[in-house]
Amino acid sequence: MTDVHEIQRRLVELDVEHRDLDAVINKLTDDGHNDQLQLRRLKKRKLQLKDHITLLKMQLVPDVPA
């Protein structure tokens, strides 16, 4: 992914998915959901998204020669 517009588009998609997962996790937690495995999987996916978002944001920053 080298196209800036493509990276920005993907960032928006991942941000939306990250927010959606956050809402689902909060809803399940507030409802007293007891499926800890499902919650762990959702939290792990949310963390993976966060890491991917960070990597894409780093690609948008131009390299500065030292």
Sorted by where each begins, the domain ranges of the chain are: 4-60
Whether pLDDT at 1 is above 60: no
Q: What is the mean pLDDT of residues 25-45?
A: 91
In order, the DSSP letters of 1-66 are: ---HHHHHHHHHHHHHHHHHHHHHHHHHHHTT---HHHHHHHHHHHHHHHHHHHHHHHHHSPP---
Q: What is the mean pLDDT of residues 27-46?
A: 91
pTM: 0.82
Q: What is the pLDDT of residue 39?
A: 93
Whether pLDDT at 61 is above 90: no
Q: What is the pLDDT of residue 63?
A: 75
Give which of 57, 59, 53, 41 is closest to 15, Cα–Cα. 53
Q: What is the pLDDT of residue 34?
A: 78
| CA 28 vs CA 12, 14, 32: distances in Å | 24, 21, 6
